[in-house]
Structure 1
């Protein structure tokens, strides 16, 4: 009888201890299901969507323009169903000009805390920092381990928007397959009239610094200025910088026929010099060889009208005209 009472007392004590232990665990972890965590939900809401790579460094050094020309096309996509896809576009190992290496990784991700994410079977560090997605990886180059940090921003970030000023004061001169060089007109007399420097007619600072020059052997030099530049300009010319844009940027980039200077300390922070070839089509018309959308009309011996035709972001054809006076 005594034994039965003793056993009942021991059983009661064990149940009490178990109950207290459970309560203690509950107090230590009041929200055991992370899916219900406000931090988890907020982080996932920020993460889901499409991201674009805007900066890449290796051991704290910015990627070269040649490497970044490919890397800037890299993307990251995170879906609501916890799946993701990373696509890195890289410079080919046997080429210095083609972005012919595509590295794609996909799988599932888990939000493990505020702004912290892990990928299944992927040992890189992923973190949301302010408006960026930062992926830190270890790479091996020549037997030496290096740290690569890739920074992405969302595709709808305002820094990726086109600069509306470019439609009026920055004429794009990228080469096309169009050949404007076939011509039987003898333009010797016209060339004698146009040789030399011509300055744009404008009262806008920086824009009024724009200049064209016709040189012998059909060489045409086009110098364009802008007061400021955007990240879109930097991406167009393969410049990798941190996010947000640093206060001081100074870079000179050569791309095709263009030399571009970015200098935040200058009055005109963006200067593009394009060296091209011109063709005299008739007594009034000059075009740029292998360049579409740009035509120059000789109004008189001291005035040239530059006509720039382009397609805007809404796929509508736009025309801009600029007057240049001979110096």
Structure 2
């Protein structure tokens, strides 16, 4: 009996040593370690850089355009030295600067695996999910606690695209300034009589050919612009929060200042912007937008008018685009 017990004891010891040896071999497996290191490197490379907020959801509902106007300016930055900073812009009490309230969170992070990151010094839950950075926090609306999920994407994400005027052919009518173009020294009565009515752009490009201008009175005109498609940047410009990636179907009508913009992925022209603007006659050929020096009209003759749009390109250089309109 003693020999049998001794034999069994020796067998158990050998079996334990074998299992331990296997575990040790697995832990020191160069292939596994290499894969983990590769996952960490890929995740950190994806994380480092600048991120911008593109979607904000409260209890599964996108926030309103008015609420998103400030939130969309929120940013996140992740550095090579394992530090980060997330800045939320929120509605403030100062009427001259609506987005005056800033909330900043900063700290350090550790990449522990593929898309797996541990964040420190952050009050809310923050996760790296695929190509997005998602921050979940608690908000109180009408004395009810709700979950708010803010979704960030990298600033170089292809969904944002470039929305430069030279590419989209959209005339920036929303950029109002305090510059006063109201000049009463010139009597523009005759010019106004010549320009009253509807004008159509001289173009055969897809939706661009639908663009019209209609001078309705001695100081007001309606400008309608069409684009074949829109991108995430267009949606952000008009404070539209939608999920990431972009849904296949989007329908939204946004009123911003004197402009109404319709987004509709099912339409032939998915982006239509209708603006009601004021103009000032400067001389016998020049009509300027009131408080917007970047857009003006040059009357070529009684049937032809040229729209001149000055803008700043992606390299911060000033550029000029011109469009010819014919009177209908």
Question: Could you say which TM-score interval applies, normalised by the shorter chain?
Answer: 0.7 to 0.9
Cα distance in 1 between the residues matched to 2:158 and 2:242 = 16
List alignment gaps of at least 5 residues for structure 1.
1-11
Give RMSD over aligned pairs: 2.7
How high is the TM-score relative to the length of structure 1?
A: 0.87
- Tell me the equivalent position of 2:317: 316
The alpha carbon displacement at 1:163 in A equals 3.1
Cα distance in 1 between the residues matched to 2:255 and 2:277 = 14
Cα distance in 2 between the residues matched to 1:309 and 1:239 = 26
Query: Conserved in 1, the CA contact under 8 Å of 2:297 and 2:308?
Result: yes
Cα distance in 2 between the residues matched to 1:168 and 1:117 = 38
The alpha carbon displacement at 1:319 in A equals 1.6
Matches within 5 A, 1:42-191: 42-93=42-93, 98-163=98-163, 166-167=166-167, 169-173=169-173, 174-191=175-192
- Shifted more, 215-224 versus 269-278: the winner is 215-224
Query: Conserved in 2, the CA contact under 8 Å of 1:116 and 1:126?
Result: no
Cα distance in 1 between the residues matched to 2:214 and 2:202 = 15
- Tell me the equivalent position of 1:209: 210
Distance 1:146 1:30, change over 3 A: farther
- Shifted more, 139-148 versus 49-58: the winner is 139-148
Cα distance in 1 between the residues matched to 2:49 and 2:99 = 25
Cα displacement string for residues 175-222 of structure 1 (whole angstroms, at most 9, x for unaligned residues): 112211123111112211211111111111211110111112411111
Query: Does 2:301 correspond to 1:300?
Result: yes
- Tell me the equivalent position of 2:265: 264
Cα distance in 2 between the residues matched to 1:23 and 1:241 = 53
Distance 1:326 1:77, change over 3 A: same
The count of aligned residue pairs is 316
List alignment gaps of at least 5 residues for structure 2.
1-9
Secondary structure class of the residue paired with 2:293? coil
Cα distance in 1 between the residues matched to 2:316 and 2:183 = 29
